[in-house]
Amino acid sequence: MIESGFHDVPPGKFAVVVTHLEMDAKPSLREVPLPEGVTFQKVTPTLDWFRDIFRRVGMDWLWYGRLKLDDAALSALLQDPARDFYTLTRDGKDEALLELNFAEDGSCELAYFGLTSALIGSGSGRYLMNQAITLAWEKPINRLHLHTCTNDSPQALGFYMRSGFTPVSRQVEIDDDPRLTGLLPRDAAPQVPLIEG
User: With 80 as the cut, is the pLDDT of residue 197 above it?
Assistant: no
Condensed to tens digits (0 to 9), the pLDDT of residues 141-180 reads 999 999 999 999 999 999 999 999 999 999 999 999 999 9
Alpha carbon distance, N-terminus to C-terminus of the chain: 28
* Percent of the chain residues past pLDDT 70, beyond the cut: 100
Instruction: Compute CA 27 distance to the chain's CA centroid, rounded to the nearest angstrom.
Output: 20
Cα separation, 139 vs 119, whole angstroms: 28
Confidence of residue 1 (pLDDT cuts 50, 70, 90): confident
Domains in the chain with CATH codes: 13-181 (3.40.630.30)
Q: How would DSSP label each residue in 79-98?
A: T-TTEEEEEEEETTEE-EEE
Q: What is the pLDDT of residue 2?
A: 77
The H-or-E segment that residue 107 falls in is: strand 107-115
pLDDT (mean) for 30-34 = 91
Cα separation, 183 vs 177, whole angstroms: 9
161-170 burial, b at 16+ Cβ within 10 Å, e below that, comes to eebbbeeeee
Looking at residue 65, the DSSP 8-state letter turns out to be G
Inter-residue contact 91 to 180 (CB < 8 Å): no
119-140 burial, b at 16+ Cβ within 10 Å, e below that, comes to bbebebbbbbbbbbbebbbeee
